[in-house]
Amino acid sequence: MHARTMGQKLQLALRYAVLSALAIVFLIPFYLIVRNALMTDAQITSPHWQWFPLHPVWSNFHELFADKTAFMWVGLRNSAFIATTTLVLQMLFASMAGYALARIPSRASRTVFGSVLLTLMIPGAVTFVPTFALMAWVGGVNTLWGVIAPGLFSAFSIFLFRQFYLGFPSEIEEAGMMDGLGYAGIYWRLVLPNSKAVLMSLGVLAFVGTWNTFLWPLVVGQNPSSWTVQIVLSTFLTGQTIQLHELFAAALVAVLPLVVVFLFMQRYIVEGITFSGGKE
Per-residue pLDDT of the chain (280 residues; tens, 9 = 90+): 455 577 777 888 888 888 888 988 888 888 888 888 888 878 777 888 778 887 888 888 888 888 777 788 888 999 999 999 999 999 999 999 999 898 888 888 888 888 888 888 888 888 888 888 998 898 888 888 989 998 899 888 899 888 888 888 877 777 778 777 788 888 888 888 888 888 888 888 889 889 998 888 988 888 888 889 998 888 887 757 777 888 888 889 999 888 888 888 777 666 655 554 444 4
Amino acid at 49: W
- Max CA distance (Å), the chain: 75
- The answer on 168 and 49 residing in a single domain is no
- What pairs with residue 204 in β-bridges? none
Number of domains in the chain: 2
- The answer on 164 and 40 residing in a single domain is no
Q: What is the pTM of this model?
A: 0.84
Residue 132 and residue 141: Cα distance in Å, rounded?
Answer: 8
- The answer on 75 and 52 residing in a single domain is no
- The answer on 226 and 98 residing in a single domain is yes
- The answer on 72 and 37 residing in a single domain is no
168 located within any domain: yes
The 8-class DSSP code of residue 236 comes to T
The 8-class DSSP code of residue 224 comes to G
Model pLDDT, residue 274: 56
- What pairs with residue 242 in β-bridges? 237
Model pLDDT, residue 270: 64
163 located within any domain: yes
- What pairs with residue 111 in β-bridges? none
Residue 42, domain extent: 4-10+16-58
280 located within any domain: no
CATH number of 160's domain: 1.10.3720.10
Residue 57 and residue 34: Cα distance in Å, rounded?
Answer: 11
Model pLDDT, residue 163: 87
